Structure 1
């Protein structure tokens, strides 16, 4: 029996200067639209006890683009901006369902830099991915193959605090198959001397790859805490901390 599930495949890529500039503009516009819509929805509820839905914020976006102050929103693809409004709608759905906190405004310094493109805003052909407003495909490092015949439904581009670029492709993966039931259970205990100990007696050695990185991370975090907020030195120290975090994440993924 084959089960069709959606899976995200994440890859690194190296943008050209023009692509990096376009994506940076898009990230900024996505953040701006999200914050404007959140402010409008909050103001409507506080002053008039009115719930504003996605359709209303989409109409607001059209009006914002026609103003002189926000005309720059027309310079980027409209799809990531619409997706930002959909994400905000989902955040409010979770909030009203008591599954999450009230949505928060996105910060230029601390919020995740990302943009989501649906199928109308990208082209994926012969292993090459080209986003809207771009003439050249992204130089993606295909570290693992996509499922045979896969066609991405959405593409999410992001940049982490260490400055690395990632692209995540959401595809339907028909290769996922449920394993046959064995009727047996195995207990797992996590420890320090051994990474895992199974109830069968098998012990998995703790590779301790992160010991040196953890020490370096603690040292850089102490330095970061001493820097003046808003200063250039603090920004550089924060970047060093982010790079160590990224190195630890890479080693975990490779283990």
Structure 2
């Protein structure tokens, strides 16, 4: 059994919307207040504050008459925000992440509820302090009783609930097909079979509209209602782009996992590549990191193998026929002929074939199990 989150959109009543606004505000305030206190302790006194000390600080904060309004909402999401903060600090101390950031009012708002602060009965979900169920658009059923939920309000003003459930993955029938994938910009991915996915360029589709709305936003007076309305319009366009991109990524990753027993893909340093100012927007729009992440967890669920190739493997410069390796092959050269065996290569298809060969070789040399990275 594993954990799986099911995400649904819901439409709160005016009373629920007010309650959630208060909850988001309290969660954000407590998170930022404790973060400021922990930061002062860390940088001024060199002390690493643990979760118990932070929880004690929260108790003192709620007992202060000046902050009695913190008791108007459920205490669970406030307490959960400290657990999330503790995890962020642990990742920072162990070198996996940067120092935790302060929560912003106009960013995505989140509130997490454990089983003591919500109930799920007869297909209806209730949260603490609210007598009416959430008006959820159930697009699919749950795999088990929820263990925790997270309510999200994005920058476009939409409400979502993410429900965490126990999930038992069922391996798919074994397939005889294997594939290698080369990631690119003109085509988001190219397979070793010669299939090219194309690139819908979702950001470019809405580029003119987005630029116009951003100019309108820049002209509005800060703090005014008109600026808030203009900000919401910009956020909705960004949400549309993100939804289109995510939908295309899910469809592509699902198709590859369904059809192939082994998927070989190159490991790219996306964070490093995105620092290139000329290509940053296009690399971000390609969604490479999310694409590989989806391949990984979907392979694990389906009983497939995902093999990652070292990023320094010369997949583009190596001839997939005889193994000849060019010393230098500029990106401007999209097709080339091998000087040894005279085979004519499409640069990307040739790279995908080499990735597949290297991946299968690595898999045969000791990689066992399913959903692995070789």
Structure 2 length as normaliser, TM-score? 0.61
2:182 and 2:47 map into 1 onto residues whose CA distance is 50
Which residue in 1 is equivalent to 2:9?
12
2:196 and 2:213 map into 1 onto residues whose CA distance is 34
2:18 and 2:129 map into 1 onto residues whose CA distance is 11
The one of the two structures with greater contact order (alpha-carbon pairs below 8 A, sep at least 6) is 1
1:179 and 1:187 map into 2 onto residues whose CA distance is 22
Gaps of 5+ in 2: 249-374
In the TM superposition, 1:1-255 aligns within 5 A as: 4-109=1-106, 111-147=107-143, 150-177=144-171, 180=174, 182=176, 184-192=178-186, 194-206=187-199, 211-255=204-248
CA contact (8 A) 2:145 2:165 kept: yes
Deviations 1:224-254 (A, max 9, x none): 3444544444333221110111222333344
- How far did 1:219 drift? 2.5
Deviations 1:30-84 (A, max 9, x none): 0111111111112222333222111111111112111111111111111101101
Deviations 1:80-103 (A, max 9, x none): 011010111111111111111111
1:173 and 1:86 map into 2 onto residues whose CA distance is 24
RMSD: 2.3
TM-aligned CA distance change 1:96 to 1:178, over 3 Å: farther
CA contact (8 A) 1:191 1:197 kept: no
TM-aligned CA distance change 1:44 to 1:207, over 3 Å: closer
TM-aligned CA distance change 1:92 to 1:24, over 3 Å: same
CA contact (8 A) 2:179 2:193 kept: no
CA contact (8 A) 1:58 1:85 kept: yes
CA contact (8 A) 2:3 2:166 kept: yes
2:64 and 2:132 map into 1 onto residues whose CA distance is 31
Deviations 1:205-228 (A, max 9, x none): 555666532331233234334445
SS at match of 1:7: strand
1:105 and 1:211 map into 2 onto residues whose CA distance is 31
2:168 and 2:53 map into 1 onto residues whose CA distance is 37
SS at match of 1:204: coil
2:177 and 2:201 map into 1 onto residues whose CA distance is 34
Structure 1 length as normaliser, TM-score? 0.87
Bigger radius of gyration: 2
Aligned residues: 248
